[in-house]
Amino acid sequence: MNFEVVTHGFHELEAALTEVVITVDPVLSKSLRALAEPVKSEAQASARGWVGGSRTAAGMRIRRRQLNVRVEQGLSKTTGAHPNWGGLQMRHFFIPALDHHEAQIAAGVETVIGTLVDI
What letter represents residue 59's amino acid? G
Between 26 and 67, the more confident residue is 26
Cα distance between the two ends of the chain: 5
- Examine the pLDDT at 103 and tell me if it is beyond 70: yes
> Is residue 82 in a domain?
yes
Q: What confidence score (pLDDT) does residue 102 get?
A: 93
> Is residue 66 in a domain?
yes
Q: What confidence score (pLDDT) does residue 116 get?
A: 77
> Is residue 5 in a domain?
no
Query: How many Cβ atoms sit within 10 Å of the Cβ of residue 34?
Result: 13
Q: What confidence score (pLDDT) does residue 13 get?
A: 78
> Is residue 64 in a domain?
yes
> Any idea which of 18-22, 75-79, 106-110 has the lowest mean pLDDT?
75-79
> Any idea which of 33-37, 44-48, 49-53 has the lowest mean pLDDT?
49-53
Query: How many Cβ atoms sit within 10 Å of the Cβ of residue 50?
Result: 16
- Examine the pLDDT at 41 and tell me if it is beyond 80: yes
> Is residue 1 in a domain?
no
CA distance 63 to 56: 16
CB contact at 8 A, 118 and 41: no
User: What range does the domain containing 94 cover?
Assistant: 10-118
Q: pLDDT of 63-91, one tens digit each?
A: 988 778 889 888 876 656 677 878 888 89
- The two beta strands, 60-65 and 68-73, are antiparallel
Q: What is the mean pLDDT of residues 100-107?
A: 93
How many domains are contained in the chain? 1
> Is residue 2 in a domain?
no
Q: For the chain, what's the residue count?
A: 119
Q: Is the pTM of this model over 0.85?
A: no
CA distance 108 to 106: 5
DSSP code of 75? S
> Is residue 34 in a domain?
yes
- Examine the pLDDT at 35 and tell me if it is beyond 90: yes
The continuous run of DSSP H or E covering 89 comes out as helix 85-89
